[in-house]
Amino acid sequence: MVAGHKDPTRADDPAEIGRTRRYLDDVDQQLKGSPTPMEFFEAMTSLHPQRLNPGVLWFGALTLLADNPAG
């Protein structure tokens, strides 16, 4: 597997598929609690501090939780 958006110091490793799956499972789990965008962002950055580009996560939080801006 060759990841297009990753830390360039990490190898292109099939284990990345599992890491991405865990990340997406954590997204699903966090969304079940109807968090605010900030709560979602903080939870995901806490669970996955090694992920690059938190700006994309923040944009995703705003998009996914547009109907729940204040909780």
Q: Supply the Cα-derived Rg of the chain in whole angstroms.
A: 13
**Tokens 């995901």 sit at which residue?**
44
Is the pTM above the cut of 0.85? Answer: no
Secondary structure letter of residue 51 according to DSSP = -
Q: Which residues contact 13 (CB under 8 A, 6 or more apart)?
A: 1
21-71 per-position pLDDT tens digit: 999 999 999 999 999 999 999 999 999 998 888 999 999 999 999 887 665
Collapsing DSSP to helix, strand or coil, 42 comes out as helix
CA distance 36 to 71: 5
65 C-beta neighbours (distance < 10 Å), count: 20
